[in-house]
Amino acid sequence: SQQGEEDPQALSIQEGENATMNCSYKTSINNLQWYRQNSGRGLVHLILIRSNEREKHSGRLRVTLDTSKKSSSLLITASRAADTASYFCATVKLIIQGAQKLVFGQGTRLTINP
């Protein structure tokens, strides 16, 4: 079963605007990751935030994590047409033998209009 749930399921904004996507999860995690998937392509890792971190930046991306609310948000600033894609959060928890398991949400489909 999938743990992360993204909100909204779809988002359409004008180029240059900021886009915010949210992810909620149910159980405790070790870290949370965000991935991007362009149409017909594989997933690309964007950013990882650990459970003891509250905010992380990477270029135009800003990720926050609130473990008390079991939620995370991904902010893309100054959006570009090339940002059009589906964005997935993936929660990570340790399983047996120290390995990690990624559980993906359903994704947010982001469309940037020129």
Partner 1 sequence: EAGVVQSPRYKIIEKKQPVAFWCNPISGHNTLYWYRQNLGQGPELLIRYENEEAVDDSQLPKDRFSAERLKGVDSTLKIQPAELGDSAVYLCASSLGTLEKTQYFGPGTRLLVL
Please report how close the Cβ of residue 39 comes to partner 1 at its closest, in angstroms: 11
By C-beta, is 1 or 14 nearer to partner 1?
1
Q: Is 95 helix (H, G, I), strand (E, B) or coil?
A: coil
> Which residue's entry shows tokens 């949210």?
22
Give the HSE-up count for residue 19: Cα atoms under 13 Å, Cβ half-sphere.
29
By C-beta, is 4 or 21 nearer to partner 1?
4
Q: Which residues bind partner 1 (CB under 8 A)?
A: 2, 4, 30-31, 33, 35, 40-45, 48, 50, 88, 90, 92, 94-95, 97-107
By C-beta, is 54 or 101 nearer to partner 1?
101
> Which residues, 6+ apart, have CB-to-CB distance to 69 below 8 Å?
24
